[in-house]
Amino acid sequence: MDIFERLESNVRGYCRAFPTVFETASGHTMIDESGREYIDFFAGAGALNYGHNHPVLKRRLIEYLSGNGIVHSLDMATSAKRRFLDTFEEVILQPRNLDYKVMFPGPTGTNSVEAALKLARKVTGRHNIVSFTNGFHGMTLGSLALTGNSGKRAGAGVPLSHVSHMPYCDYLGTEADTIAQLERFLEDSSSGLDLPAAFILETVQAEGGVNVATSGWLKALAELAARYEVLLIVDDIQVGCGRTGPFFSFESFGLQPDIVCLSKSLSGYGLPFAITLMKPHLDAFDPGEHNGTFRGHNAAFVTATAALDEFWRDDELSRKVHRDAELIRDTLLDLATDYDAEIRGRGMIQGIQFETPDVASEISRAAFERGLIIETAGPKDDVVKALPPLTITDEGLREGLGILRESVEAVMSREFVDSNR
Ligand SMILES: *Cc1c(COP(=O)(O)O)cnc(C)c1O
C-alpha cells in the first residue's frame, strides 16, 4: 500500500479519478513520475486559467522571493499588496467603470463566499439568502448551505439553514419563467419565503453541470434584486478571471453585482488567494470584525499582479478564449450529434451530457488512459466538463480534443456492445 492510501485520509478525491503521481507541469502539460505527459483539460478546477508555472509569473515570484520580499504579513500594508491594489484598480475596475472596494478574506473560494454572506446579512439585517438549484459555493457551513448537491450537503452533519433554493435559469425547462416565479414568491407575503438579504448565483454553474444562465435571465434577476432591495452576489470564483472571455463573467450583460466573489485563478499561479468585492456603500464591517491569519498572501499578490499585467492590459486573451471556445464547441457538437448528447457552456467552460449518467465518468477514465485529464460535473457526475487553460496552444487544444473524441468513441462503442448483449 502506498503512503497515500496508508496515511492520507479517505477523503482524498481527485487522486482516485487520476491515479498517478504527478511531478512537474508547465503550460497545459502535467508530467508524472514515470515521465508520462498528460494534457490538462481540468486546469485545477479553474485555478490555472493561465496554465501551470507560467514563465512570466514564475520569474516575478522568484525575483520577489530572492529579494526577501515579505511573504506573510497578516493584513498589514505591504508594497506587494499596494502593487496588487493599484494594478487591480487600473487594469480591471477603472476600464470597466466598476466601483468596488476590495476585501481580503481567507485565501480560498469558500472564504470569499462566507465573507459575502456575512456582509449581506449585516448590511440588510436579514438572515435569509436565496441561492439556486445546482449551485455550488464551497464546503464550509455557510457556503454549503447555499450548495444544492445533496451528497455534499449531507457531509455537514448539522442542518443547513437560512437559505431558500429557487430554480436556476432553465431548471424547469426552457419555457418556464423562473424569474416570474421568484417574483411571485417575493411579492406574496404568504409565500413562506423570508425576504432575503441577497441572491447568490454563478452565471455558469460549473460544478453543477455547466448550466448557463441566459442574458435575459441574468438581467431580469438583477432588476428583481434592485426592485426588492435584495443584494445581488455573483460567485465568479470558477468562471471569472477570463474563463468565459471577459475578466468577469457578467461583464457582457451590463450587470453590476453588489458583491462579487473571486478566487481560483485570481493569483494566476495556483497559489491560494481570494477577494470579495463590494459596492462602497456596503463596506460595513468594523475593523477586524471579519478576521483571518492568511489574508495577506504576498506571494499571491505578486503573481496576481503579474497575471493582470501579462493578460489583462489588452483584449488578446479574451479574443483567444472566444476563438478556442468555438473549436471546443464544434468538437462537442459533432460528438453530441453522433451520440445523442447535449452540450452546454460559455467560453472555455463547455460540457457534454450523455443520456446514461455513468458514461461521463467512463469517458473521463478512458481519456486519462490516453493522456488527457478531464473531469465530470453535474448532480450525477453525468457531464464531461472541458476546462483547458485559457492559454493552451492551438496544438495542445487540438490534441486534447482528439483524445476526447477517441475516448467518447471507445466508451460509446463498448456501451453499444453491452446494450446489445
Ligand atoms: C471552487 C468554487 C468555490 C469554492 O472555492 P474553494 O477554494 O474550493 O473553497 C466556490 N464557488 C464556486 C463557483 C467554485 O467553483
Query: Which amino acid appears at position 41 of this protein?
Result: F
pLDDT tens digits, residue range 8-26?
999 999 999 999 999 999 9
CA dist 408 and 134 (Å) reads: 25
Minimum-distance ligand 1 atom for the alpha carbon of 235: 13
Same-domain pairing of 176 and 255: yes
Looking at the structure, tell me whether residues 145 and 245 fall in a common domain.
yes
Mutate to test the pocket of ligand 1, among 112, 132, 136 (most ligand atoms within 8 A of CB): 136
DSSP 72: B
Q: Detail the DSSP E strand segments found in 151-281.
A: 163-166, 198-201, 204-205, 211-212, 231-235, 259-262, 275-278
Rounded to an integer, the average pLDDT of 349-366 is 95
For the chain, how many structural domains are there in total?
2
Confidence of residue 415 (pLDDT cuts 50, 70, 90): confident
The cell for 219 is 438581467
- Residue 414 confidence (pLDDT): 85
- On the question of pLDDT at 230 being above 90, the answer is yes
User: What integer is the mean pLDDT of 69-90?
Assistant: 97
Residues 285 and 358 grouped into a single domain: no
| CATH classification of the domain holding 85 | 3.40.640.10
Give the CA angle between residues 56, 271, 396 to the nearest 5°. 55
Q: Which of 129, 238, 248, 262 to mutate to test the pocket of ligand 1 (most atoms within 8 A of CB)?
A: 238
Same domain, yes or no, for 264 and 329? no
pLDDT at 154 over 80: yes
pLDDT of 77 over the 80 cut = yes
Query: What's the domain range around 228?
Result: 58-311
> Locate cell 494534457: which residue?
39
Report the distance separating Cα 58 and Cα 303, nearest Å. 8
Q: What is the pLDDT of residues 247-304, one digit of tens each?
A: 999 999 999 999 999 999 999 999 999 999 999 999 999 999 999 999 989 999 999 9
Q: What is the pLDDT of residue 17?
A: 95
Are 146 and 163 contacting, i.e. CB atoms less than 8 angstroms apart?
A: yes
CATH of the domain at 352: 3.90.1150.10
DSSP 276-335: EEE-GGG--PPTTSS--S-S-BHHHHHHHHHHHHHHSSSSHHHHHHHHHHHHHHHHHHHH
Verify that 27 and 66 share a domain, yes or no.
no
Mean pLDDT score across all residues of the chain: 96
The CA-based angle 40-43-47, given to 5 degrees, is: 165
Which of 48, 137, 237, 250 is the pocket-test mutation for ligand 1 (most atoms within 8 Å of CB)?
A: 237
pLDDT at 29 (0 to 100): 98
The gap from C-alpha 409 to its chain's centroid, in whole angstroms, comes to 29
Residue 146 has pLDDT above 70, yes or no: yes
Res. 420: pLDDT tops 90: no
* pLDDT value, residue 302: 98
Q: In Å, what is the CA distance from 154 to each residue of 79, 111, 147, 386, 416?
A: 43, 20, 11, 27, 35
Q: Are residues 299 and 386 located together in one domain of the fold? A: no
Cβ of 113 closer than 6 Å to ligand 1, yes or no, is: yes
Helix or strand or coil: residue 251?
Answer: helix
Same domain, 278 and 155: yes
Q: Which residues neighbour 200 within 8 Å (Cβ) at sequence distance 6 or greater?
A: 113, 116, 117, 129, 130, 131, 132, 135, 137, 146, 233, 234, 235
Q: Is the CB of residue 235 below 6 angstroms from any atom belonging to ligand 1? A: yes
Residue 306 and residue 321 in one domain: no
Domain endpoint, select from 311, 343, 370: 311
Mean pLDDT for the stretch of residues 77-98: 98
Establish whether residue 202 lines the binding site of ligand 1, counting it when its CB lies within 6 angstroms of any ligand atom: yes
Query: What does the pLDDT read at residue 421?
Result: 60
Contact 104, 298 (CB under 8 A): no
Q: How many residues does the chain have?
A: 421
- Measured distance CA(379)–CA(417) in Å, rounded: 27
As a whole-number percent, the residues of the chain with pLDDT over 70 amount to 99
Domain boundary pick from 247, 277, 311: 311
pLDDT at residue 327, as a whole number: 98
Out of 14, 264, 275, mutate this one to test ligand 1's pocket (max ligand atoms within 8 Å of CB): namely 264
CB of residue 251 inside a 6 A radius of ligand 1: no
Which own/partner contact pairs does 30-38 have at CB distance under 8 Å and 24+ positions apart? 30/373, 36/371, 37/371, 38/368, 38/371, 38/372, 38/373
- The pLDDT of residue 84 is 98
**Ligand 1 atom closest to Cα of 206?**
15
Grid cell digits, residue 339: 451520440
Give the pLDDT confidence score for residue 87 in this predicted structure.
Answer: 98
Dmax (CA) of the chain: 68
- The CA-based angle 252-48-364, given to 5 degrees, is 100
285 and 217 in a single domain? The answer is yes
pLDDT of residue 417: 73
pLDDT of residue 130: 98
Nearest CA, atom 6, ligand 1 = 109
| Helical packing angle, 394-419 and 316-339, nearest 10° | 20
Q: Whose CA is nearest to atom 10 of ligand 1?
A: 137
- Whether residues 149 and 278 share a domain: the answer is yes
Residue 260: name the closest of 142, 119, 112, 141 by CA.
112
Give me 196's grid cell.
Answer: 432575503
Write down the pLDDT at residue 73.
96
C-alpha count within 13 angstroms, C-beta hemisphere, residue 280: 3
**Taking residues 211-225, what's their average pLDDT?**
98
Are both 31 and 79 inside the same structural domain?
Answer: no
> Residue 374 pLDDT > 70, yes or no?
yes
pLDDT at residue 419 is higher than 80? no
| Structure confidence at residue 402 as a pLDDT band (50, 70, 90) | very high
Q: How far apart are CA 160 and CA 148, in angstroms?
A: 11
Predicted pLDDT at 321: 98
Q: How far apart are CA 110 and CA 319, in angstroms?
A: 30
Q: 232 falls in which pLDDT band (50, 70, 90)?
A: very high
Other beta carbons within 10 angstroms of residue 33's beta carbon come to 10
Domain boundary among 284, 311, 338: 311
Cell, residue 414: 463498448
Instruction: Give pLDDT tens digits for 298-356.
Output: 999 999 999 999 999 999 999 999 999 999 999 999 999 999 999 999 999 999 999 88
Q: How many Å apart are CA 158 and CA 164, to the nearest integer?
A: 17
**What pTM value is reported for the model?**
0.97
Q: 81 and 13 in one domain?
A: no
